[in-house]
Chains A and B, each alone.
Chain A
């Protein structure tokens, strides 16, 4: 294993090269990150052979890869913040057409006011589109999740698009030692589409009009498929950890010293700070959500069932509910428990504000005196 010191975006570009996509489409200007730049360089240097399409908007970027994926090729794109928001309409189409597209989302805040820094508002707002969403803690994990994402998306039991989310700047623009495997061998076999492809001998219509009853059936199928995709995510994570000797927890959640009475929960790179706090103290453990969609309800219930207090740190807010989406969903997951832990939600890091370990500790210390269901805004 050789470690290279790489920026998050570069590392992700390298991992995409290993997966050999056939078609890549990017909108090349802001809010695009340098994932697009690095991949374009790899293509220009002849290190990655694929069809590269530069389009005029993110809406077109995703539309182009929907087209290429529907024609039966492995397709990839990347975007960030406002770009993801512009893709909103076509995100549903990609999931509904069951196209195994992989997209890296570099998480950054949404306007207004205009802000380019990190929070999860962009991707968390797209949680109901039918895309699988995986969140990386480190650059290494962003690389690993991108590789796994192709495998998960193309599994016959899944056939769904995947967003691999990584924190803007904290990961995408930060240098970290990363292991880029020399080759991934047959971990990702050549893509052989089974349901959607272009073949004059077997013509088909995709993304057609459907009357209420078939539409209803297909949406139900989609819902059942994304629910069941957790099995595949777990399997692929296990196979990856056997081959490359590292994993993202069990693929869905990652725990760290989670046998203590308080559990602190987060997604993405903030887990680094929380790990530091967990190491410093002896009363709290960490639960990190890797897969936000499908939401690993059973795993979360299992990890939190004996806890006294659960504190959720998240960088997004579901406006109108005072708290974040992760808080609401974990609270509803724990509803089935007889002995429910006290739940506190912390909205932090909005618009790229630093989340300091001192502030995290203060909240953990004052959790005893807080009301159940309280939401704290950390700024």
Chain B
């Protein structure tokens, strides 16, 4: 339940599927960025992303920043060092 949500008895949530509305990307402190020139679209980062935030489109890695929490596992596993990270200013 989010901070401003209407509270039902026992905190029961009836509008299911609302996780999509909660953009957890705001939890991030480090932001990964992909160098599209190096990325081969091998998909290893996609396999390792614990939040399922990476899709491969046209043989390139696309990160969904709405939900990416910045764990940087993708940066660690990329065999081509195409993903780099930096502190995110908010």
Contacts and interface: CB of A to CB of B under 8 A. Distances in A.
Given A203-B16, A208-B1, A210-B1, A196 B10 contact: yes
A203 B13 CA distance: 9
B7 A214 contact: yes
Main secondary structure of the interface of B (DSSP, over half): loop
A217 interface: yes
B31 to A, nearest CB: 24
Contact of A204 (B1, B2, B13): B13
A97 interface: yes
Interface residues of A, number: 23
Contacts of A196: 10, 12
A99 B14 CA distance: 17
Interface string A169-196: 0000000000000000000000000011
A204 B14 contact: yes
B3 interface: yes
Contacts of A206: 10-13
Interface residues of B, number: 14
Contacts of A205: 12-13, 16
A213 B7 CA distance: 10
A208 B7 contact: no
A208 B9 contact: no
A146 to B, nearest CB: 24
Interface in B18-55: none
B57 interface: no
B5 interface: yes
Given A203-B16, A205-B16, A211 B1 contact: yes
A163 B74 CA distance: 51
A211 B3 contact: yes
Given A205-B13, A208-B11, 7 more contacts: A195-B12, A196-B12, A204-B13, A204-B16, A209-B1, A210-B1, A214-B11
25 contacts: A97-B11, A98-B9, A99-B10, A195-B8, A196-B10, A203-B14, A204-B12, A204-B13, A205-B12, A205-B16, A206-B10, A206-B11, A206-B12, A207-B10, A207-B11, A208-B11, A210-B1, A210-B11, A211-B2, A213-B3, A214-B5, A217-B7, A218-B7, A218-B10, A218-B11
